Amino acid sequence: MIKPKKLKRGDTVAIVSLSSGIAGDKEFRHRYEQGKKRLEEVFKLKTVTMPNALKGSEYLSKHPEARAKDFMDALKDKNIKGIICNIGGDDTIRLLPYIDFDVIKNNPKVFIGYSDTTINHFMMYKAGVTSYYGPSVMCEFAENYELHDYTKKYVDEVLFRNLENITIKSSPKWTSEFLEWSNEEYDSKKRKMSKEEHGYEVLQGKGTFEGELLGGCIDVFPMLIGTEIWPSKDAWENKVLFLETCEDEVPPDYLKYYLRNLVAQGIIDKINGIIIGKPQNEKYYEEYKEVYKNVIGGEANRSKLPILYNVNIGHTAPMCIFPLGQKIKVDLNKKEIIFLEKPMRD
């Protein structure tokens, strides 16, 4: 995998809307402005908002080619060192006909986002470029009141300092409280934090496992499977699969169906282990655990395949960052995730 160069204070990053266009909608514009301001003031980045990113939900819904153009143009612009997504959504897959994989390969840059942005991450993976599953402008960077220290720590360690042996541990606190985004007064109100009662949980397996990291929001997978950016069965050999679920709080039965599909494809037989994100608001927390154990350990007959559960990635706050396509190690005894290579080029 090709690694992009790490970010430096003063670098220019592009803000894009590759899925939902709500950043440009009047009632949510203040949220976008807060996230942009944090990038500039907390991380000392210069920002450029791509031409179509703020044209609003209606326009961007009708023009996936405009979203894709922003993506391609940001990659080709030599002055832009990174690309940060405004938010996820539900139709990034519509950009696929307009993507030039050579442009991605020949212009490796920091690319970060999550949720429906899983689609873009698999585009990057097909092009052979590492991308970073993590915060978005309107969610994490625009966090109510202030940026979470945990999120800030991993943004700094991964994207800027490019440290060796970065270790991801469970956050001592978390929140999924929703404060209505259209109410600007909530921008300065801190969300209620809950004490982490579980930490990382080992659902099955022992010891340590390692491999290249690949995965994303499992709710998005049905749109990916069968397309040119979905990896072949052999491409999953010795991978660490990571999965998380979105704010729609997918019912346990649907999670079961998604997992059965991965089993039927032969992917579960290929991988070295699984990392699972904290469920949104911890709804279905215990039910999801049973689904994973029943489908992976029971139906797929892989009861020894290691599964680490309740990791701070994806649709929860705070969150860490995962470098896709890079080798990591998971220590089930210490309940740690360790990056086995520097996430970027210096």
pLDDT digits (tens, 9 = 90+) for 187-199: 999 999 999 999 9
**Boundary (domain end) residue, out of 163, 198, 228:** 163
3-state secondary structure the chain: CECCECCCCCCEEEEECCCCCHHHCHHHHHHHHHHHHHHHHCCCCEEEECCCCCCCHHHHHHCHHHHHHHHHHHHHCCCEEEEEECCCCCCHHHHHHHCCHHHHHHCCCEEEECHHHHHHHHHHHHHCECEEECCCHHHHHCCCCCCCHHHHHHHHHHHHCCCCCCEECCCCEEECCCCCCCCHHHHHCCCCCEECCCCCEEEECCCEEEEEEEEEEHHHHHHHCCCCCCCCHHHHCCEEEEEECCCCCCCHHHHHHHHHHHHHCCCCCCCCEEEEECCHHHCCHHHHHHHHHHHHHHHCCCCCCCEEEEECCCCCECCCCEEECCEEEEECCCCEEEECCCCCEC
Domain count, the chain: 2
The whole-angstrom separation of Cα 70 and Cα 332 is: 41
Q: Are residues 194 and 273 in the same domain?
A: yes
Asked if residue 1 belongs to a domain, the reply is no
Instruction: State the residue range of the domain holding 62.
Output: 12-163
Asked if residue 183 belongs to a domain, the reply is yes
Q: What is the pLDDT of residues 197-227, one digit of tens each?
A: 999 999 999 999 999 999 999 999 999 999 9
Q: Are residues 271 and 133 in the same domain?
A: no
Q: What is the pLDDT of residues 100-120, one digit of tens each?
A: 999 999 999 999 999 999 999
**Boundary (domain end) residue, out of 163, 193, 221:** 163
Asked if residue 168 belongs to a domain, the reply is no
Which residues have a Cβ under 8 Å from the Cβ of 47 and sit 6 or more positions away?
A: 12, 13, 14, 15, 36, 39, 40
At residue 168 the predicted structure's pLDDT band, cuts being 50, 70 and 90, is very high
pLDDT at 323: 98
pLDDT at 340: 98
Q: Are residues 77 and 209 in the same domain?
A: no
Q: What is the pLDDT of residues 248-288, one digit of tens each?
A: 999 999 999 999 999 999 999 999 999 999 999 999 999 99
Asked if residue 144 belongs to a domain, the reply is yes
In percent, the amount of the chain with pLDDT more than 90 equals: 100
Q: Are residues 31 and 180 in the same domain?
A: no
pLDDT at 345: 97
pLDDT at 177: 94
**Boundary (domain end) residue, out of 163, 195, 218:** 163
Q: Are residues 122 and 185 in the same domain?
A: no
Asked if residue 344 belongs to a domain, the reply is no
Q: Are residues 147 and 177 in the same domain?
A: no
CATH number of the domain bearing residue 28: 3.40.50.10740
Q: What is the pLDDT of residues 35-64, one digit of tens each?
A: 999 999 999 999 999 999 999 999 999 999
At residue 295 the predicted structure's pLDDT band, cuts being 50, 70 and 90, is very high
Q: Are residues 201 and 324 in the same domain?
A: yes
pLDDT at 293: 98
CATH number of the domain bearing residue 330: 3.50.30.60
Q: Are residues 123 and 201 in the same domain?
A: no
pLDDT at 305: 98
Asked if residue 34 belongs to a domain, the reply is yes
Q: Are residues 183 and 299 in the same domain?
A: yes
What value does the mean pLDDT of the chain take?
97
Which residues have a Cβ under 8 Å from the Cβ of 33 and sit 6 or more positions away?
A: none
pLDDT at 148: 98
pLDDT at 96: 98
Q: Are residues 129 and 204 in the same domain?
A: no
pLDDT at 173: 98
Asked if residue 188 belongs to a domain, the reply is yes
Average pLDDT over residues 294-298: 98
Q: Are residues 159 and 50 in the same domain?
A: yes
Q: Are residues 279 and 317 in the same domain?
A: yes
Asked if residue 191 belongs to a domain, the reply is yes
How are strands ordered across the β-sheet holding 167-168? 167-168, 336-339, 327-331, 208-217, 239-244, 273-277, 307-311, 201-204
